[in-house]
Structure 1
């Protein structure tokens, strides 16, 4: 838990929830904080023990401990973008996430969209910018229209996202997004309900969890709406049978197209009851109030069962 991004505190919260809910009859869990300045095991008295990066071991209680499996609860880099997972693969340590390439791909919004569009998944019209590109707001507006969304390409928890209603607001939004990332995605505003749906590996199968409808009190589902109660999250979503089936079908197809395994939660906007894919989170929030645990609970999967299943699936990987 932890990480090197703006999401560090959310990740520490998610990791704490996983640690608390693991069955102590079956597991001997350790809290590992992966931070820019240190990699440490933190015990219940907040004493820190440094991780040996040669083999991801720790000297704890006078003995050297190596781990059977890593439960990845790092939102953002280096957990959600695959960097640390490539390291785990190199040293032969199993983990609960998808392979590092799938994680890197799904963390990059532009590249994910380019793959799923190829398979007929509906998405918003978009423009892509790299830091240093000449800014032509007239051209951007001609392509995506107004209002539009400006997003860092590689960031989560709605950090750095803006909704722009004018050329001036596009410029301000781009500046804000560049503080999070050197790559930016500008997307057409899609007018319709927003839904979120978790897809996970569960007992060896791909399972689509109940759908959540998100009704933000703010102009969009921003950080406040996600984490400070400024939204209504309705699980299961109040959708017609036909629309719900379209969302489930698209969600499962996207998970399989991207060769995912482990956890995922994707967002869709419904335009004329047709789901349009926005993005995938491969390390979704895992706190009690987070969307994926809400959806699992609706499917009668407890947090303990959800986390236990993730570890079992990881241990079975070759």
Structure 2
């Protein structure tokens, strides 16, 4: 539903307010906008009258943002930045379109990045912007078209396709394994274990898969795969890592499998996008491309579909 026009102040009022808010004075805003100080003051006053709230506290010759004004300035500043970015992207690439994609750091650098030249070669008109995210976010508040997500299912209010599952295995450095006698899963119970914050229960799941009931598994905690892999390779302990993300480490011998005891993860990688965004050309092209790239990872890459609509 379109926003009523009474809630859409003119661009001249908003740019004057945003500049005044950044400078916290009308003089600096006037110089930036190449208008008079009185014009800035008048535009800010008109905006205050239109929205029905005082945005600046005026004290003789000084002005200061009110509490409401500071909150409004943050929102308006972000909105104007997004309008500017959209205009810049359109001018730079009027036909191809732009795909703003959120990625998981290690998945993005180790799996996706080496394959992206194939996508860009196939679709030279597309501009691809990447940003890393470690947790779920709201598509309504971030200027993103799609995201690579790992979990049990796509986020509510989104649509998506399943890309792949992963197989994790316990790994350590060769030196660590030479100095620790590991013959069976129970041998790991007294070993230093390295945990990923996003998958804090995974060691417990692995022990359970080996028919070992472990009430509480302790050890060092890491926020990313890359640092956990580096720590394991440096001899700090054993890490439970996805095979497809550490193939190079295994081939070089930086990491070595501690046991022939892989575990299929119950969670999956998804490509997700806001409901209704599936017809946006860059999203559609990327979805078709990554579905092909992951075809050998999952038997039937299916459309997960809309789980729920958020109001």
Q: TM-score, normalised by structure 2?
A: 0.30
Which structure has the bigger radius of gyration? 2
Bigger RCO of structures 1 and 2 (CA < 8 A, at least 6 apart): 2
More strand by proportion, 1 or 2? 1
TM-score, scaled to structure 1: 0.30
- Relative to total residues, which structure has the larger helix share, 1 or 2? 2
